[in-house]
Structure 1
Amino acid sequence: MPPAPTAERPSNASEALARGRLGVPSVIFFVLSAAAPLTVVAGLITTGYAVTGVTGIPLAFLAVAVVLTLFAVGYVAMARRLTNAGAFYAYIARGLGRPGGVGAAWVALIAYNALQVGLYGAIGAAAEPVLDRLFGGSPAWWVVALVAWALVAVLGVLRVDVNALVLAVLLLAEITVILVFDLGQVTHPAGGSVSFANLSPGNLLVPGFGAVLVLATTGFTGFESAVVFSEESKDPRRTVPMATYLSVAIIAGLYAFSAWTMTVATGPDRIIEESQEQSTGLIFSLAGAHFGNTAVAIGEALFLTSLLAAMISFHNTTARYAFALGRERVLPALFGRTSPLTGAPRVASLAQSALGLVVIALYAVAGWDPLVQLFFWCGTGGGFGVLLLITATAVAVIAFFARTRTEETLWRRAIAPALAAIALIAVIVVAVDNFAVLLGVAPDSPLRWVIPTVYPVAALLGLLWGLVLRRSRPDVYARIGLGAQSAVVDLPQDPDEVAPVGAEVPR
């Protein structure tokens, strides 16, 4: 038998995130900010009505919430045993094996980076009406994007609780405005009476049902990120489950209620036409009719800060994925370094900022459409990648508990994640079938296949890299998925054996 690996162990001081800085509210702020509530209410919901012609969107959010709650049952059960900023990467490595975990890591890096950089395109467009109102004109979109980029880059290397405080202020203002707008819509019903017609299941189970479910699932993107901040939580075993369940409940309730109140204000028979005519301006138009121009100005400004909050949240999530991979040497070790002053993943954060700067410059020089070709395409593609990761993780949860001694009930370790996996696979099939509609391109457009194909190709390349590591660098391979334990664990002689530590180790 070959001798045990003797590679130098990482430094706990330089490769550990700052612990004990985030409670349940702080993690929820990160999660909900990634979900970008006002962006979803103003943009995704109206787009859903306009593109699909389906009026049962409020029920779609509730249906997706049920599926994601089923997923969360096994997800948080596994989270109680594993504390790792790599989240999906670590969970899939523990459940489906190390090579599969590396494949998932490649998918996660592409998906979360796409979600992050895509937002730079949206914030330029969102700033135009606000700056027009204040100054009578606005600069090029990329100037606004660079200002947002600089702010996010600075926050990315500061303490994580500083980021949480900024998100708390932005998010609470954002949700308050949404609820005020919703109240105005429900108290000013079209025709003088409140209609519940759109809450009938018959309005959801119609042609276009599948596309609506995909759009609704996209609205929840970010709910899974509570686990990413587990290493920095005060009590991960309590914080992660509470933050995950509360986030799903808050997102579902807020989106379903907002989607319904829009139909009340326009009339159930007019919501499709109004959404097609006014697009993202619908909610602000309704607010102006009920509350005046001041409310519109506030709403448009908070739409801008909603995008900024999502940028901050996704930047932190993406940086922590890269950090986790660097700490375990799947990426260069440099990515696993943290700031000695703030405990933030400094190198990973700066690398993410560098990528954002390159993308902004590229789109500005090429003259590409920042809203459609950057925000919409990257957002749709990134959301699809996260959907694939959630589905793979549901399967990994089942595999993990199948070979792990545990007191978890059959419901938590097998039944709930299996039901979630089946439902999520169905959503993926529908998403692929409707990808041209989701992108807003012609059915014969190459993008219709290129974007979804990126992920299986990346997963395959990652899996192959995992196998290369197994053969050429067994010390690195043996640490995949261990997280902070990779710095202190005594490795087995055979990297495919289980290391003698308290927590389970991937295959």
Structure 2
Amino acid sequence: MTTGSSHTSRPTADGGGISTFKGQERALRAGRLGTGGLLLSVLAATAPLMVVAGVMPTTFAVMGIVGQPLLFVALGAVLVLFGVGYAEMSRHVHNAGAFYAYISRGLGGTAGASAALVALVAYNALQVGIYGLFGFEVSNLLTTYADVTVAWWIPALAAVAVVGALGWLKIDVNARVLGVLLVVEVALVVIFDVAAVADPAREGLSLHAFNPDTLGGAGIGTALCFCIAAFLGFEQAPVYAEETSRPHILVPRVMFLAVAGVAVFFAFSSWALTVAAGPSAIVGAARKESAGLLFALTESRLGTTFTDVLHVLFVTGMFAAMLSFHNVVARYAFAMGREGLLPAAFGRTSTASGAPATGSLSQTAVSLVVVAAFALLDDGPAGDPTAPVLHLFTWFGNVGALGVIVLMAAACLSVIVFFARRGAVAAQAWRLVTSALAGLALLVIAVYTVKDFDILVGVGPDSSLSVVLPGIIGLALVAGLVQGAVLRSRRPRAHARIGLGNEAFQLEKAAEAASKECLPGDGAGPALRTGDGAGPVPPPVTRE
């Protein structure tokens, strides 16, 4: 795939070099992001402070496993293995559809259609889920510091509006907003980490949390589910490929920087929590303090003012994650609209900013409807902190995480098939091996996620939610397969374009231009036409 820089979609003078993703109505605006902007956009979705203050204490408390730092190291290794093949695919495929584009290139258009719908549902769920926790935390801050009682859904809906407005802006503007929030957030967590190491509990700078013996017990599978959710975001780098100047270089670079950085940061920060509380006391402290663990440990070392600032940054970190996921959902919707998996309106960009405007607007509408629905179920005067606020966060967050894990496992298989079909098994052998190993590990995590979904969402084993919620991903998967099969039967050309993105569009335009040159009257003979006489037929699109 070439990546020309012209602002019109036409062949070059020598008949080659067709621009595949720049400068026309079905393209995102290229050249907006460099390494820094892309890295910040990706890392913002990991919400470092939300993970350290929320996910880590929950994992300690619910699973009772001290060796959480070691889990982050192990998962980092698995995701690096995943990234080897995934990054190589990014050199061959530049498409805002990312996961589903890769899967369709390897496993076919029908599988790609299924992956597209799973991705759309999963990332929507991840983004919308955070609004519940965001609204609850802002409501608490207003009560604590301004003595104002506000229902949780009011700040949640306000956030929906602000995120929606930012989603219409240029992606580089979004990257600056995300960058500022992320840098400050990470800096405060690092300050806590240093303070914890400088002032450890009575057990001192113990490395017990890195002992493999700490990973024993029945909760290890579920703990993996909790911890892998903390990494979600690094896999989004290919979504922005069409908006970078050198996607074949920047996307792989950013993915590996993100995985390595997240693994080291979270392993160190979770270890700092065990040092601050003491390895023997961390589980009990997490069960007592819950999401307040980080703030309790911070206040005793860095004072009330620092802790207050940390509370505020906890909220802004969630906002950054919401904006990051919003951008991803909008681009998936754009890619699907461009390829006929959603109405064509989704496949257009804003003339002012180059952003996928319709996809952004639809994601805002979905968020508005879901938050409003949960607000109507809340009969508390200022918002019940457990129903439905935290339900919105835990239910949708785990549904989204399951969807992304399934997509990553499918992408591993797709990498293997893609290069095998190209006759590149020998040349890509080590990448195929790493993809196979990562795929098996991700399948195991997906199985544990479904098996222990009742624990993840805090319901009893007999609750219907333990079946209904993961069933959302299963339903999306099946519905996507059906859509792909119908397209293959009724609209084979649209089916053939799935995953090819702007490349297919450009090739078809070039073919149409060539066909017009052969119309009767120029001595070149009659042009081929469709059965209904609608016009010249471009050659069928083939996959790599």
TM-score, reference length from structure 1? 0.94
- Cα distance in 2, alignment partners of residues 411 and 76 from structure 1: 15
Q: Answer yes or no: is the 8 Å Cα contact 1:185–1:264 preserved in 2.
A: yes
Find 1:464's aligned residue among 479, 482, 486. Answer: 482
SS in 1 for 2:462: coil
Equivalent in the alignment of 2:396: 378
Question: Residues 322-353 of structure 1: CA distance to partner in whole angstroms, max 9, x if unpaired?
Answer: 00000111110000010011000001100110
**1:465: how far off?**
1.0
- Cα distance in 2, alignment partners of residues 152 and 436 from structure 1: 31
State the AA in 2 paired with 1:72: G
Equivalent in the alignment of 2:176: 165
Find 1:118's aligned residue among 119, 125, 129. Answer: 129
Equivalent in the alignment of 1:441: 459
- Cα distance in 2, alignment partners of residues 255 and 192 from structure 1: 21
**1:192: how far off?**
6.4
Q: How does 1:27-42 map to 2 (within 5 A)?
A: 27-42=38-53
Equivalent in the alignment of 2:15: none
Find 1:450's aligned residue among 468, 477, 480. Answer: 468
**1:436: how far off?**
1.0
Q: Answer yes or no: is the 8 Å Cα contact 2:34–2:244 preserved in 1.
A: yes
Give the 3 Å change call, closer, same or farther, for CA 11–290 of structure 1 in structure 2: closer
Question: Unaligned stretches of 5+ in structure 2?
Answer: 1-20, 380-386, 513-527, 529-537
Give the 3 Å change call, closer, same or farther, for CA 32–408 of structure 1 in structure 2: farther
**1:14: how far off?**
1.9
**1:147: how far off?**
1.6
**1:474: how far off?**
2.0
- Cα distance in 2, alignment partners of residues 138 and 253 from structure 1: 39
Question: Residues 41-80 of structure 1: CA distance to partner in whole angstroms, max 9, x if unpaired?
Answer: 0000000000000100000011111111101000000100
State the AA in 2 paired with 1:377: W
- Cα distance in 1, alignment partners of residues 445 and 372 from structure 2: 35
**1:193: how far off?**
2.1
Question: Residues 377-418 of structure 1: CA distance to partner in whole angstroms, max 9, x if unpaired?
Answer: 100111011000000001011010101144984344411101
Question: Residues 281-309 of structure 1: CA distance to partner in whole angstroms, max 9, x if unpaired?
Answer: 11111111111110111100000001000
- Cα distance in 1, alignment partners of residues 437 and 292 from structure 2: 38
Give the 3 Å change call, closer, same or farther, for CA 84–299 of structure 1 in structure 2: same
Q: How does 1:37-56 map to 2 (within 5 A)?
A: 37-56=48-67
**1:425: how far off?**
1.1
- Cα distance in 2, alignment partners of residues 299 and 408 from structure 1: 51
Q: How does 1:241-320 map to 2 (within 5 A)?
A: 241-320=252-331
Give the 3 Å change call, closer, same or farther, for CA 401–275 of structure 1 in structure 2: same
Equivalent in the alignment of 2:212: 201
Q: Which has the larger radius of gyration?
A: 2
Percent identity between the two aligned chains: 45
Equivalent in the alignment of 2:543: 505
Q: Which has the higher contact order (CA 8 A, sep 6+)?
A: 1
**1:320: how far off?**
0.3
- Cα distance in 1, alignment partners of residues 447 and 217 from structure 2: 17
Equivalent in the alignment of 1:347: 358
Find 1:81's aligned residue among 87, 92, 96. Answer: 92
Matched, 1:426 2:444: yes
**1:208: how far off?**
1.2
- Cα distance in 2, alignment partners of residues 262 and 372 from structure 1: 24
Equivalent in the alignment of 1:156: 167
Give the 3 Å change call, closer, same or farther, for CA 115–483 of structure 1 in structure 2: same
Q: Answer yes or no: is the 8 Å Cα contact 2:114–2:480 preserved in 1.
A: yes
Give the 3 Å change call, closer, same or farther, for CA 190–463 of structure 1 in structure 2: same
Q: How does 1:8-19 map to 2 (within 5 A)?
A: 13-19=24-30
- Cα distance in 2, alignment partners of residues 78 and 11 from structure 1: 20
- Cα distance in 1, alignment partners of residues 372 and 447 from structure 2: 35
SS in 2 for 1:35: coil
SS in 1 for 2:92: coil
- Cα distance in 1, alignment partners of residues 166 and 177 from structure 2: 9
- Cα distance in 2, alignment partners of residues 499 and 21 from structure 1: 33
TM-score, reference length from structure 2? 0.87
- Cα distance in 2, alignment partners of residues 192 and 87 from structure 1: 46
Matched, 1:221 2:232: yes
- Cα distance in 2, alignment partners of residues 371 and 194 from structure 1: 37
Q: Answer yes or no: is the 8 Å Cα contact 1:122–1:370 preserved in 2.
A: no
State the AA in 2 paired with 1:110: V
Equivalent in the alignment of 2:414: 396
RMSD: 2.0
State the AA in 1 paired with 2:88: A
SS in 1 for 2:336: helix
- Cα distance in 2, alignment partners of residues 281 and 23 from structure 1: 37
**1:11: how far off?**
11
Stretch moving more, 142-151 or 390-399? 142-151
**1:174: how far off?**
0.4
Q: Answer yes or no: is the 8 Å Cα contact 2:66–2:214 preserved in 1.
A: yes
Between the two proteins, the alignment pairs up a number of residues equal to: 492
Q: Answer yes or no: is the 8 Å Cα contact 1:129–1:300 preserved in 2.
A: no
**1:453: how far off?**
2.0
Equivalent in the alignment of 1:179: 190
Q: Answer yes or no: is the 8 Å Cα contact 2:22–2:28 preserved in 1.
A: no
Q: Answer yes or no: is the 8 Å Cα contact 1:102–1:465 preserved in 2.
A: yes
Matched, 1:338 2:376: no
State the AA in 2 paired with 1:505: R
Equivalent in the alignment of 2:11: none
**1:198: how far off?**
1.2
SS in 1 for 2:352: coil
- Cα distance in 1, alignment partners of residues 372 and 187 from structure 2: 35
**1:206: how far off?**
2.9
Stretch moving more, 403-412 or 201-210? 403-412
Question: Residues 117-158 of structure 1: CA distance to partner in whole angstroms, max 9, x if unpaired?
Answer: 111101011213422343123411111112211110110010
Stretch moving more, 419-428 or 407-416? 407-416
Stretch moving more, 209-218 or 450-459? 450-459
Find 1:366's aligned residue among 368, 377, 382. Answer: 377
- Cα distance in 2, alignment partners of residues 105 and 291 from structure 1: 46
Find 1:191's aligned residue among 189, 202, 205. Answer: 202
**1:475: how far off?**
2.4
